[in-house]
Chains A and B, each alone.
Chain A
Amino acid sequence: NAGVTQTPKFQVLKTGQSMTLQCAQDMNHNSMYWYRQDPGMGLRLIYYSASEGTTDKGEVPNGYNVSRLNKREFSLRLESAAPSQTSVYFCASSTGTVQETQYFGPGTRLLVL
């Protein structure tokens, strides 16, 4: 039981490049989330998926797109990376609403030059 996994662990991009961050969970959770964490700040929600087949914007969705590929997988795509997107990205999952424990992946550290 791996919990929540993310790939890659670290990535360097040049401005304008695109990439997809992958997330998978094996806990049969319905809800999945993408957050970013900037230095000295709490996590900010980018997008979430309340259930398979649905996605919704969070607090900071601009510059990102997501895909809930199936119940297990939720990917985050940066179409044209900008230096302001340099951050640590965390994926999380929960059984249902946020009033359940969220389980986090190990994070992806992204540097955009």
Chain B
Amino acid sequence: GENVEQHPSTLSVQEGDSAVIKCTYSDSASNYFPWYKQELGKRPQLIIDIRSNVGEKKDQRIAVTLNKTAKHFSLHITETQPEDSAVYFCVVAGSNYQLIWGAGTKLIIKP
């Protein structure tokens, strides 16, 4: 089955700097890659997603890139702010109804 690896597990950046989180997956047939943000004690919320027919997608300070050949995708957050502190999960659609989640990256924004 699908396997998703996410790095790093913890990322600490200075406020205003950029943050990059990387994920790899194993099933070349996967074609949908969402990213979820989970604040402490809260529910996960979708922040951005990308489909396999697109190499990059941006939404204000957030961007995701996808390399299908290498089977990896990344989340980029620019001009980080305190409210970006959270755990971020990369996710891969393993089938029509099953999402496979990475282990998460705890992003810490230092003032």
A interface residues (Cβ-Cβ under 8 A, vs B): 31, 33, 40-45, 48, 50, 56, 58-59, 90, 97-99, 101-102, 104-107
Contact yes or no, B44 A104, CB < 8 A: yes
> Count of A-B contacts with CB under 8 A?
59
List 18 extra interface pairs beyond A43-B44, A59-B98, A105-B43, CB under 8 A. Answer: A40-B104, A42-B102, A42-B103, A42-B104, A44-B101, A50-B96, A50-B97, A58-B98, A59-B100, A97-B96, A98-B32, A98-B96, A99-B31, A99-B96, A104-B43, A104-B45, A106-B42, A106-B43
Binary contact readout B90-111 vs A (1 if CB under 8 angstroms, 0 otherwise): 0101011111111110000000
**How would you classify the secondary structure of chain A's contact residues: helix, strand, loop or mixed?**
loop
Select which of A40, A56, A90, A106 is within 8 A of B97 by beta carbon. A56
Q: Which residues on the A side are within 8 Å of B42 (C-beta)? A: 106
**Which secondary structure characterizes the binding site on chain B?**
strand
Give the Cβ gap from B14 to chain A, nearest Cβ, in Å.
25
Specify which of B95, B97, B98, B103 lies most central, judged by the most chain A CB atoms within 10 Å of its CB: B97
Within 8 A of A (CB), among B27-43: 31-32, 34, 42-43
10 A-B pairs (CB sep. < 8 Å): A41-B101, A43-B99, A59-B100, A90-B43, A97-B97, A98-B95, A101-B46, A101-B49, A102-B99, A104-B44
CB nearest neighbor in B for A96: B96
